[in-house]
Amino acid sequence: MAPTLTPGDLLLASHLRRPGPGAVVVVDSPDGMVLLKRAVAGPGSEVDLGDGELVIDGAPWPGVLDVPGVGHWSVPDDHWFVLSDAPDRTMADSRSFGPVAVASIRGVVVARLWPSPGRID
For residues 1, 70, 27, 57, the Cα torsion angle rounded to the nearest 10 degrees is 100
pLDDT at 121 > cutoff 70: no
Mean pLDDT, the chain, whole residue set: 90
In 29-70, DSSP assigns E strands to 34-41, 46-50, 53-56, 59-60
Given a contact cutoff of 8 angstroms between Cβ atoms, the answer to whether 28 and 103 are in contact is no
Check residue 65 and give its pLDDT. 66
Check residue 64 and give its pLDDT. 65
Domains of the chain with bracketed CATH = 10-119 (2.10.109.10)
Q: What is the pLDDT of residues 49-106, one digit of tens each?
A: 998 899 999 999 887 667 888 999 999 999 999 998 888 788 899 999 999 999 999 9
Distance in angstroms (rounded) separating the CA atoms of residues 11 and 21: 19
Check residue 27 and give its pLDDT. 97
Q: How many CB atoms lie within 10 A of CB 40?
A: 23
pTM of the full structure: 0.90
